[in-house]
Structure 1
């Protein structure tokens, strides 16, 4: 692990304009600690916004919660919206501090957390590094480098752009019974090890297929198997068991969500993995001609598959 002093940093001069903005947002706050919190958060967001624009990323500063006067009074928030990527939390770090503190209220709905350290007279801000995951305290020497940060943002931008441009392909699950299986769906023996195979299902399984799903990018990617088991139609309905298994591990990461939505996008069923879960599953029935979505989510990453019976 490199010392933070050995890593690339980026310094931003805090102009009179920057300090005036911070003073304006903290003006009228009677609690001195809250007043300082808003002042520092505003400067941190200003510095990161300048840095990202220099690096070629489009930001939406005015659309961020850190620019909402009511929100910043109620919460310790220093977010910056990055277009086509998401919310980045910009956390201020004072001189001679060895940790970056992240308040619990911003532990979700963030693509990452970036540490911004000020000099003693608040004339300069230094962007030190980032972490993709929240914790109450992150030692500065454990921050990932700005080189990795730029790669991370670029990968998120590419992934999000691809999701916007490409709609999921409709899986004709009813055709599976006739032997026409969509490309990319494999027998589960090719995806899972023998110890993971074979769970109880209330109906006799006619066909089982699976598909590898990647959630995340290189720095924090996890791979899971989406397994779909179907029965023979009875009275115009098919029983369906859908499961999510880890690939390359014995247990799923905590917080993997499997959900079912109907054709209109309304939630039908959902389940979320807990600590040490080997798999998660949902069982339901669908009528012939019905459409539904299976969605797998982990943190800010989501994969959707659309099916038609």
Structure 2
């Protein structure tokens, strides 16, 4: 084969049990063509699952859409869930094929695509290669990357999965981390534009400051009006219209093009309703005492953008009884080549957090480094 060297291709025997499972799934299909599709898809998924198990990469075989009767009936799907990482699509080809078909229904919500060659007797599967993203319904085998890229991806924090509510266990919500008695986050009173966000009425005052001359009115849909035709902002904040208030903020967050305004709205919504789906892709990792004895936590939050890119917010907070970050502590964002594109340092007795903001595209990799006194901790991400 000219597209990848033989040393890069992994051969996995297909057992009788694998073929029996594939046959069982295929027999429930309405046409011969659909039955063949399901049969090969099921074999490909089992081959990849065997390979990843050999590498001690945890998977959840039966959590895939292709393991659900309705999932395989209504879609051409061959997904394998990597625990805490996301869905990997396992696409089958036959011996001699030079291209692989990628149906449009699996272009989204995937951490990548792995191609498996099934031989004529269906007794052997060869894992040919991997690609992290697709934009067309057909890929040439020459485009595939080494399987080492897949292994690297399995160890990256997959931020795209955060938008689907999928997180690894070491990344926690602020509430989860704060509820651990020994890991209290040190927060000052939340203030945005001079207002303490201690009740919904004050929160809405901040929203009105963001939109001079009530320009927010034209951005709200009719369902966020009250029965008299007035906007939420005119109403007295009460349990009856609280959902309208948070709904209005969430709608503005999703439709406002200005990045600073969007993050301010996110901050307000975090305070009013931390688990609102519009801003739920926010997690922290406890860096503990690994940073020269300084207890801090790294927060990462992402917001989906209308142009299919994402906005990223990085923050470092002090933990325990420390009201401020240690002076000189640095937070930096680096590209996949290790080049710094953003950095900020904590000042003495002044910063209860430091942060960086930037935008990134799906498939883009970056690194986050937290450091002080030549000691650093680094986390690796992919959008």
What is the RMSD computed on CA atoms of the aligned residues?
Answer: 4.1
Contact 2:75–2:105 under 8 Å retained in 1: yes
Tell me the secondary structure at the aligned position of residue 153 of structure 2: helix
Give the match for residue 15 of structure 1.
15
Q: Distance in 2 between matches of 1:65 and 1:265?
A: 34
TM-score of the pair, normalised by structure 2: 0.50
Tell me the secondary structure at the aligned position of residue 268 of structure 1: helix
- Residues 235-273 of structure 1 deviation map (CA, whole Å, 9 limit, x = unaligned): 9435338xxxxxxxxxxxxxxxxxxxx879983335589
- Residues 48-78 of structure 1 deviation map (CA, whole Å, 9 limit, x = unaligned): 1111111111111111111101211111011
Give the match for residue 296 of structure 1.
303
Q: Distance in 1 between matches of 2:15 and 2:151?
A: 25
Give the match for residue 237 of structure 1.
206
Q: Distance in 2 between matches of 1:119 and 1:272?
A: 50
Give the match for residue 153 of structure 1.
154
Tell me the secondary structure at the aligned position of residue 84 of structure 1: coil
TM-score of the pair, normalised by structure 1: 0.60
Query: Compared with structure 1, are the counterparts of its residues 73 and 300 closer, same or farther at alpha carbon in structure 2 (3 Å cutoff)?
Result: farther
Give the match for residue 71 of structure 2.
71
- Residues 252-297 of structure 1 deviation map (CA, whole Å, 9 limit, x = unaligned): xxxxxxxxxx879983335589xxxxx75585897x9873658423
Higher relative helix content: 2
Tell me the secondary structure at the aligned position of residue 47 of structure 2: helix
Contact 1:19–1:43 under 8 Å retained in 2: yes
Does residue 1:117 correspond to 2:127, yes or no?
no
Give the match for residue 141 of structure 1.
142
Range 51-60 or range 160-169, more displaced: 160-169
Q: Give the length in aligned residue pairs.
A: 226
Give the match for residue 221 of structure 1.
none
Contact 1:65–1:72 under 8 Å retained in 2: yes
CA displacement at 1:5 relative to structure 2: 2.7
- Residues 135-183 of structure 1 deviation map (CA, whole Å, 9 limit, x = unaligned): 31111111111011101111137995377236498796636659xxxxx
- Residues 85-109 of structure 1 deviation map (CA, whole Å, 9 limit, x = unaligned): 0111110011111111100011111
Q: Distance in 1 between matches of 2:261 and 2:190?
A: 15
Tell me the secondary structure at the aligned position of residue 70 of structure 2: helix
- Residues 169-206 of structure 1 deviation map (CA, whole Å, 9 limit, x = unaligned): 8796636659xxxxxxxxxxxxxxxxxxxxxxxxxxxx
Higher relative strand content: 1
Q: Distance in 2 between matches of 1:272 and 1:123?
A: 52
Contact 2:302–2:310 under 8 Å retained in 1: no
Range 161-170 or range 83-92, more displaced: 161-170
Matches for 1:76-91 after TM superposition, within 5 Å: 76-91=76-91
Matches for 1:219-238 after TM superposition, within 5 Å: 236-237=205-206
Which 5+ residue runs of structure 1 have no aligned equivalent?
179-232, 242-261, 274-278
